[in-house]
Amino acid sequence: MPECVLRIAGSTEKVKAFLRQSRIEPTAVYWRGEYGHLKSRGPNRISGFNISLSGSHGTSVEKQARQAQAFLRKHEDEMALIKSLGFKHATIDFGLYDLATETHPWPSYRLPASFVQLAGALGFEIELSFYGTP
């Protein structure tokens, strides 16, 4: 099920530093040179980890954003640590179902300004990933 995930990638040393200093348990950790879950892509080119930011799955980007914003604020020390370590990639990925229909082929997805400001202040990019229909 698609959800909102913080995807962090960078050097192995930075990933290890974060994991040592943080109380957050990532949903996934991957290491440079190891094979990920899709073996056909070859070995990972970079180390990193994922953190689930929202329990909402796939339909409401606004609800995911509210939950993600609450998570980021609750764990502000860890988010500041991510920023201070200077990872190569720090992306908040909203997993969404494609809600386009024949009668409404252009659905819109809105993110609250306060969320966008917080993500920007932390240096996080925002990505929307679409997963077909629910």
Confidence (pTM)? 0.90
Angle at 132 between CA 130 and CA 133, to 5 degrees: 120
Closest alpha carbon to 130 in 96, 104, 100: 96
What is the C-alpha to C-alpha distance for residues 106 and 100, in angstroms, rounded to an integer?
6
What's at 126, amino acid-wise? I
* One-letter-per-residue 3-state SS of the chain: CCCEEEEEEECHHHHHHHHHHCCCCCCEEECCCCECCCHHHCECCCEEEEEECCCCCECCHHHHHHHHHHHHHHCHHHHHHHHHHCCCEEEEEEEECCCCCCCCCCCCCCCCHHHHHHHHHCCCEEEEEECCCC
Closest alpha carbon to 46 in 96, 91, 94: 91
In order along its 134 residues, the chain shows pLDDT tens digits of 688 999 999 999 999 999 999 999 999 999 999 987 777 678 989 999 999 999 877 568 899 999 999 999 999 999 999 999 999 999 999 998 888 888 988 888 899 999 999 999 999 999 999 887 77
